[in-house]
Amino acid sequence: MPAANNIYIFGFATTDARWTTRISYFFFGETDMSNTPNPYGVPSPTPQAFNPYAPTVQVAPEAFGVNDVEQYRKTYLGHEASVKSLGLLYLLGAVFLVPIGAFLFLAAASGNFQPNEPRGVMIGIGLVYFALGLFQGFIGWGLRRLTPWTRIAASVLSAFGLLAVPIGTIISAYFLWVLLGEKGKIVFSDHYRSVIEQTPHIKYKTSIIVWIFLGLLIALIVFVIAMLAS
């Protein structure tokens, strides 16, 4: 009585499944062996399902086509405009602080200006205003160019601005959101700057919020000049 596990090939009994695989391939070509036990004892790798949402390996701009790069730029163009608009506000702040600081310093140092405060205090205030104005000018220039270090410097100034309750708190909180948010990190990255270099034809528009802040700043400058003139 033949053994139950024997496999007969040309009348000869064998228990080696490798022979059946080889002979089947020789006579019939490739066959579906997905349900056949692996005679070599090495487990076959499990096929992975295709994931259409998996991230791509390449993220450099060269990995995208022209249309993809343009779409990427347009996705963050609004935030880019907000950052550069903040730079414009810082530049205008410098235009306001530098002349005021220079005026206070020179007037108090020459003795032609007789404020209620001691002369030394006014000289110090003038120097602080002048230095702060220069610092804001450098920050504004850097924000307009999306220089990474200006993101941190502007965030520090905005953090101090939170103490100016309530208007300064609201404005500074908006500045911090623009600078430190996830989109802010992307806009200041080297990758995004390379995207800008590839899409020079795409232009941003100044935010309406910036125009409102600009109007308030001009009104403040006029008010201060009127107070000094009187």
Tell me the per-residue pLDDT of 52-70, one tens digit each, with 9 for 90 and over.
555 444 444 444 455 688 8
What pLDDT does 11 receive? Answer: 46
The whole-angstrom separation of Cα 10 and Cα 14 is: 10
Tell me the per-residue pLDDT of 8-67, one tens digit each, with 9 for 90 and over.
444 444 455 555 555 554 454 444 555 555 555 555 555 555 555 554 444 444 444 556
Rounded to the nearest 5 percent, the helix, strand and coil shares of the chain are 65, 5, 30
Q: How many C-beta atoms surround the C-beta of residue 17 within 10 A? A: 14
pTM: 0.61
Tell me the per-residue pLDDT of 127-156, one tens digit each, with 9 for 90 and over.
999 999 999 999 999 999 999 999 999 999
Contact call for residues 200 and 179 (beta carbons, < 8 A): no
